[in-house]
Amino acid sequence: VEGLNRLLLKTEEAAELLSDIPVDVILLGCTSASFINGLVYERNMIADMVKRTGIPFTTTSTSVIRALNAMGVKKVAVATPYIDEVTQLALAYLKENGIEVCNSRGMGLLLDRDIDAVKLDDVYEFAKNTDCEEAEALVVLCTGLRTIPTIERLERRLQKPVITAIQASMWNALRMVGIDDKVEGYGSLFER
């Protein structure tokens, strides 16, 4: 959590640098950094970034919530690569946003390089085994986990939507700039 908060201190500088180039939206693409301090902090950060840059700003966590809301999902199972402390903060953030969690599991990984190194088959198996019957969707958090190639396979196996951090971030950023094309290969979220 301390390291994630240090990363947040650099967000203003990074957003201001990005605002000098022609971009239509800026997204903080670190899932855990965007939820660790809770919903009020995140909303204030988004408002501050918009004020500083004049450019629409969002986060991965907001993107996940928008995706769940678009799918009409209120109860989820949550898979993360995180240590327990960070996974618990993710669950608290989801609860603040009116999302009930029926099951959750974290891989216990601390370092980005370890998260980035998780094999696709391991992501698939871990996520699949985190699901619970009463979940309306499975959520896989962390933009560092390679999840895109596993989404459709998981949805076929579980017979429910799978929302991942990187997928929701792409979907939300596109929607924010007015692109709402339906695209196959990225899960049911992109097919709506």
Structure tokens at 168: 């929701």
Supply the pLDDT for residue 15.
81
**What is the mean predicted confidence (pLDDT) over 46-74?**
95
Q: Are residues 83 and 43 in the same domain?
A: no
Q: Are residues 9 and 25 in the same domain?
A: yes
Determine if the pTM surpasses 0.95. no
Q: Are residues 81 and 151 in the same domain?
A: yes
Q: What is the pLDDT of residues 9-55, one digit of tens each?
A: 677 778 878 888 889 999 999 888 899 899 998 999 999 989 989 99
Supply the pLDDT for residue 120.
96
Radius of gyration of the chain (CA): 16
Reduce the DSSP state of residue 164 to 3 states and report it.
strand
Residue 191, in any domain of the structure? no
Residue 190, in any domain of the structure? no
Q: Please say whether the beta carbons of 143 and 169 come within 8 A.
A: yes
pLDDT > 80? residue 3? no
Q: Are residues 54 and 120 in the same domain?
A: no
Count of domains observed in the chain = 2
Q: Are residues 161 and 76 in the same domain?
A: yes
CA nearest 7: which of 27, 43, 26, 34? 34
Structure tokens at 22: 């022609």
pLDDT class of 114 with cuts at 50, 70, 90: very high
Residue 192, in any domain of the structure? no
Distance separating alpha carbons of residues 34 and 131, to the nearest angstrom: 24
Which residue range is the domain that position 15 belongs to? 2-61+170-182
Q: Please say whether the beta carbons of 162 and 187 come within 8 A.
A: yes
pLDDT > 90? residue 8? no
Query: Residue 92 belongs to a domain with what CATH number?
Result: 3.40.50.1860
Q: Are residues 79 and 102 in the same domain?
A: yes
Q: Are residues 88 and 44 in the same domain?
A: no
pLDDT > 80? residue 2? no
Mean per-residue pLDDT of the chain: 93
